Amino acid sequence: MTRGLRVLIVDDNPDDRRLAARALAAEFGGIELTEANDDASLTEAFERGGFDAAITDYRLRWTTGLEVLSEIKRRFPAIPVVMFTGTGTEDVAVAAMKSGLDDYVVKTPQHFARLPMAIKGSLERQRGLAAESELIEAEARFRALIENATDVVAVVSKNSTITYASPSVQAALGWEADELVGQFLSDLVPEEVVEELREGMRALIQAPGVAMDVSYQVRHKDGSWRQLEGTARSLLDNPSVRGIIVNARDATERNRLEEQLRITERMEALGRLSGGVAHDLNNLLTVISGSVSFLSEGLAADSPFQEDVKQIEIASDRANSLIAQLLAFGRRRPGTPRSFDLNSVVVDFEPMLRKLLGEGVLFATHLDPNLDRVKADRVQLEQVIVNLIINARDATSRRGKVTLETGNLVASEHEPALGLRPGSYVWLSVTDDGVGMTQEIRERVFEPFFSTKEGEGTGLGLASAYGIVTHDGGTITAESEPGEGATFRVFLPRGA
């Protein structure tokens, strides 16, 4: 059964109350009427509540319509109130409107018919205001959810222009949200994947509403790259969106940790394998070296076999050197981290480093005079520096320039690309102007036994350096492009 309109009428004239109720019932098809003709009945009505609209006279025996209006709006702010009076003035009407009155009807016989229309109009306006308020609240709620989400939310137009970016983009990519608006998405990804991105956009446009997984490197404001992963969905046909919604998160740190774990696991497995193989080879090589020594002693000085024996001895020495590296890699033990001055290590080491590079390589150092002390194993760190210098020398084909630099860094949680926990670090970099590396080589450069030196290298130098640095609580990064040289940068915790 449909409930009738519930109306509160505040009037001390019973005839006026009856006429008003009749006019309302005729218009609304029945009403539930609450009448108040004195202070007690009005108080009781207020306590009971539950009405949809209220009508009040202005001049009442115990109070005024303005007081009644004020009390209704205080108790029931969403209830429309119409003043129906024959004794009010224009000043009263203005004062009532300022207090929240919804309509004003003059109480004359010809105006009784207008009272239901005033109530109906007030109810419709009130519903409109309520709907608008709900819409504003919903918009504010969803905006708060989007703007406080940790994931990046973006809207991209049909031609790949960014039309909206959530504030979380600043933490992920360094850009303020309004800085990204208007940029082309294709300008933020590596050139080699632009066509792949365009194909993905075309596929999304052809499949509205379908979610697609996306994973791209996206350029950070500082020029570095972040790996963003998430989903994209075309809502171009939705008039409130008219775009492709991208919801993504920064997976750079997670991917780095996963890759670091894979490298560590490979190094541990290969370390055990290389240690065991090297031990067996060493036993065999001992027999070979001893036999060659006896053979050499038994040959005449002018024997034509002396040169063959000499070559065997040279090969044996080289094999011994390789086995020593394998044993060192397989038996790698944690060093003893201590606090010391990294600059002094470089200065003491510089003459030897110049000899390692050779006369054809120009060597320069730029040491930060305010460098903090570093916490690491000094002997193992010297080995890391030697490995980086040899790697730079080979990259320049023994002619070019190698630069060694030092500096301080305070890492924050917003620098996941470095792979460092927040804190203070000391860094050392070795830069060459050699052949550089492709992305595929950069991704494998720290793998054990991986080498690009066409049989000349063992592939253990950078792998050993990586193991030493990460064990000391730091990391080592490689920055390079083909033909543009390379920079290897070692980060180690600051010492006390």
CB 389, CB 401: distance < 8 Å: no
| pLDDT computed for residue 1 by the predictor | 42
Least confident of 287-296, 428-437, 484-493: 287-296
Highest mean pLDDT among 93-107, 159-173, 473-487: 473-487
What's the pLDDT band for 241 if we cut at 50, 70, 90?
A: confident
Amino acid type, 406:
T
User: What are the structural domains of the chain?
Assistant: 5-144 (3.40.50.2300), 149-250 (3.30.450.20), 255-330 (1.10.287.130), 338-493 (3.30.565.10)
pLDDT at 132 over 80: no
**In b/e form, how buried is each residue of 325-351, taking b as 16+ CB within 10 angstroms?**
bbbbbbebeebebeebebbebbeebee
| pLDDT computed for residue 489 by the predictor | 92
pLDDT at 336 over 80: no
| pLDDT computed for residue 314 by the predictor | 74
What's the pLDDT band for 271 if we cut at 50, 70, 90?
A: low
Average pLDDT of every residue of the chain:
80
Highest mean pLDDT among 138-142, 270-274, 309-313: 309-313
Of the candidates 318, 332, 333, 325, which has an alpha carbon nearest to the alpha carbon of residue 277?
325
pLDDT in tens, 192-230: 888 888 888 888 888 887 888 888 888 888 888 888 888
> What's the CA angle centered on 469, arms 463 and 474, to 5 degrees?
135
| pLDDT computed for residue 328 by the predictor | 57
Q: What percent of the chain has pLDDT over 70?
A: 81
What's the pLDDT band for 407 if we cut at 50, 70, 90?
A: very high
Question: Could you tell me the two tokens for 84?
Answer: 């129906």
pLDDT at 313 over 80: no
Q: What is the pTM of this model?
A: 0.43
CB 11, CB 34: distance < 8 Å: no
Highest mean pLDDT among 13-17, 40-44, 186-190, 320-324: 40-44
pLDDT in tens, 163-176: 888 888 887 888 88
